[in-house]
Amino acid sequence: MKPIRALTLDLDDTLWPIAPAILRAEQALHAWLQLEAPLTASRFDIDALRAKRDEVSRTHAHIAHDFTAVRRESLRLALMEAGDDDSLADAAFEVFFAARHELEFYPEVEQALQRIACRYPLLALTNGNADIARTSIGSLFRGTISARDFGIGKPDPRIFLEACRRLDCAPAEVLHVGDDLELDVRGAQSAGLQTFWLRRGDCGADDMPEEGVATVACLLTLADRLGC
C-alpha cells in the first residue's frame, strides 16, 4: 500500500448484514399498517410491498437511486390502491426507517473502527439510505455521502471523488473498503483511490488476492494491516 490519509467505507453488508435489518424493518412496517391502515395491510403482505417497491424502482427512473424516495412512493401507491389515506405514507416510512436502523454489526466492527478512527478520518459512502449518525458508531465518522443526497451512486467515480474532496485528500491518499467488487472496488479504483475488497471470513486468515485486488477477511484484519 501507498501511504493513506483517510478511509471511506461502505455500510450495508460491510459494517452490518443488510438482509435481516430490512426484514425486521418490513415486519415492523406491516405491523404498523395492520393498526393504522388495515386495508393496505390486508391487500399487501410483506412480499407484495416489496414487489410494489421494485415496481416503483423500475418505473420511476428519476428516483431509482434514492431508496428513501422509492420506498415512500411505493407506500403511497399501496395505500392509495388499497383505499387507505395515502398521506400516511410519510408516517409509515418513518416506522420502517427507524426499525431499519436497529442494526446488528458484524462482531469485530466496533472494536476495529475505534482503532482505525484514532488514526484516520472516516467517511461513509453508500448507495443505500442508512444514516451512520443514527447508529452507535456514528461519532467515529466525519459524515456520509449517499447516492440519495449526491444524486449519483457507486460505481460512478464522481461520488468517490466527492468523498476525496470532502476529506481534503487526493484520491491516491484515500482507501476505500467495501464488500462489492464492482460497486466498491472497481468504482473506487476508477477514481484513483486505493482499495481493499472486504471478503468476510476468518479474521486470522492471511489476505489473499482475488480478482486482481487486495482483500481483507474482516475489519480487524484491516486495522492490523494499517498498523492501528
C-alpha cell of residue 24: 425486521
pLDDT of residue 203: 64
Q: How far apart are CA 172 and CA 195, in angstroms?
A: 10
Domain end point (choices 69, 100, 131)? 100
pLDDT of residue 202: 63
Whether residues 77 and 166 fall in one domain: no
10 is annotated as an active-site residue: yes
Residues 197 and 103 sit within 8 Å (Cβ to Cβ):
no
Residues of the chain with pLDDT under 50: none
Whether residues 73 and 165 fall in one domain: no
Whether residues 137 and 36 fall in one domain: no
Residues 82 and 37 sit within 8 Å (Cβ to Cβ):
yes
For the stretch 81-102, pLDDT in tens is: 999 999 999 999 999 999 999 9
Q: Is residue 163 part of a domain?
A: yes
Q: Is residue 1 part of a domain?
A: no
Per the residue annotation, which of 10, 12, 86, 156 is the catalytic one?
10
Domain count, the chain: 2
pLDDT of residue 70: 92
Show the domain range for 158: 6-16+105-225
Q: How far apart are CA 55 and CA 74, in angstroms?
A: 8
Residue 158 identity? R
* Maximum pairwise Cα distance, the chain: 59
pLDDT of residue 200: 87
Residues 187 and 156 sit within 8 Å (Cβ to Cβ):
yes
pLDDT of residue 148: 86
Domain end point (choices 50, 66, 100)? 100
For the stretch 121-165, pLDDT in tens is: 999 999 989 999 999 999 999 999 999 889 899 999 999 999 999
- Contacts of residue 88, Cβ cutoff 8 Å, sequence gap at least 6: 36, 37, 75, 79
Residue whose C-alpha is closest to residue 193's, from 209, 214, 207: 214
pLDDT of residue 64: 87
